[in-house]
Amino acid sequence: MTSERVVIVGGAIMGSFAAWSLRQQGFAGSITVVEKDPSYRLCSTALSAASIRTQFGTPINVQLSLYGVDFFRNITRHFGTGADIAYKENGYLILGGPDTVAARQAGVAMQRAEGADIIALSPDELTQRFPKMRFEGVGIGTFGQTGDGWFDAWSLLALVRRAARALGVSYVDAEASGLRIAGGQVIGVMLASGDVLPCDWCVNAAGPASAKLVKAIGIDLPVTPRKRTVFSFRAPISPNGFPMLFDTSGIWVRPEGTGFIGGIQPPADQDPDATGDFEPHHHLMQDPFWSLLAARIPAMETLRLERAWAGHYEVNALDHNGILGPHDLLQNLIFSTGFSGHGVMHAPAAGRAVAEWITGGGFKTLDVSALGWNRIRDKQPMPETVVY
């Protein structure tokens, strides 16, 4: 219907993929994206580690990633000749202790059955394949041979925004202050200026701020901003051939340009709601990050920190999984939020799901209802074991 109006709150990766995908699905009505910070400087997308993995504990997340892999490999097909997100499939290596071997092998079997190219490696095989690393305390490593890797999230965001604009999506520089409800529907998005944008559909893609948007209408979205720091450094070792490594200790590290980036989550009791706080966790660098890193990769005993930044994970406290699809009562309110650290890789599939729902009233290509609102309402987590 050409008279239908979609208003999307949040213009970063989730909002822009929803907008662009709507046009791909043939939506001919108006699409307005409301974005409070057109510089996108502090959004999670811009500050992320921009990596993609097909190693998840639930089939639905593996499927979302596989679509992301296909999308990134074929970026020029979607966004035209010259589109480049510097996608590198150098693999994800996820290490586990001896007590995790059986569970991790079962995980690999599931991932392979879903179509992901993952193998399990013993400590001896790990030593042969990754001679610059030490594997004390490791019982298994799982490795994404193809598909898993990293890319440039900023370029991806720029491409999808530009493509959406070219298809008639309008971006409005404004802050949404709340939603106007009547007759069991969202009928408008209220702006801080006092204006109201009338809508037939509203998509909440406000990332770490998505709970704030719906709080006043009585929806308790368990999504909060949690600060995660990225350290960017150089080491006396070539990054060529290095995978993205997730260690048993909780550290992660991967090549970035001619150096590396890495990080570690803060302890749970030092991980409050970080609204407005973008100061990096400098104290985590020396210890534990660096000491754990050097224990795993001895050449990183000496390194030079170049810079650090912090961004916000949009953590879904219920189960660290995305919240995707309609609200049960306000059925024209669609969520695309709460991806808790894996939202950039899942954005192409999430945008497609939102667009399918709005244009056809259901999920066509991939049934993502396991990620729906009802589990949040019922406080029934969908456990995902592979989260960082």
- C-alpha pair distances (Å), 1 with each of 18, 26, 71: 17, 10, 28
In 3D, which of 26, 43, 34 has the Cα closest to residue 7? 34
- Among the listed residues 8, 60, 203, 206, the single contact to ligand FAD using CB under 6 A: 206
* Subset of 110-129 contacting ligand FAD (CB under 6 A): none
- Among the listed residues 37, 84, 200, 271, the single contact to ligand FAD using CB under 6 A: 37
Q: Which is nearer to ligand FAD, 11 or 141 (CB)?
A: 11
Report the distance separating Cα 76 and Cα 248, nearest Å: 37
Report the distance separating Cα 274 and Cα 200, nearest Å: 33
Helix (H, G, I), strand (E, B) or coil at 326: strand
210 in Cβ contact with 338 (< 8 Å): yes
CB burial of residue 117 (10 Å; 0-12, 13-18, 19+) = middle
Q: Does 91 bind ligand FAD (CB under 6 A)?
A: no
Q: Does 358 bind ligand FAD (CB under 6 A)?
A: no
* Range in contact with ligand FAD (rule: CB under 6 A) among 81-89, 199-207, 283-291, 359-367: 199-207
Q: Which is nearer to ligand FAD, 107 or 262 (CB)?
A: 262
Q: Which is nearer to ligand FAD, 12 or 121 (CB)?
A: 12
Q: Is the peptide bond before 225 cis (omega within 30 degrees of 0)?
A: no
The contact mask relative to ligand FAD for 289-328 (x = CB under 6 A, - = no) is: ----------------------xxxx--------------
Q: Does 176 bind ligand FAD (CB under 6 A)?
A: yes
Q: Does 175 bind ligand FAD (CB under 6 A)?
A: yes
Task: Annotate 316-340 with b (16+ C-beta within 10 A) or e (fewer).
Answer: bebbbbbbbbbbeebebbbbbbbbb
Q: Does 44 bind ligand FAD (CB under 6 A)?
A: yes
Q: Does 262 bind ligand FAD (CB under 6 A)?
A: no
* Subset of 219-258 contacting ligand FAD (CB under 6 A): 228, 230
Q: Which residue is nearest to ligand FAD (CB)?
A: 343
DSSP single-letter state for residue 372: S
Q: How many chain residues interact with ligand FAD (CB under 6 A)?
A: 41
DSSP 178-237: EEEEETTEEEEEEETTS-EEE-SEEEE--GGGHHHHHHTTT----EEEEEEEEEEEE-SS
Q: Which is nearer to ligand FAD, 43 or 219 (CB)?
A: 43
Please report, as ranges, the residues that interact with ligand FAD according to CB under 6 A: 9-15, 34-37, 40, 43-45, 47-51, 175-176, 205-209, 213, 228, 230, 311-314, 337, 339, 341-345
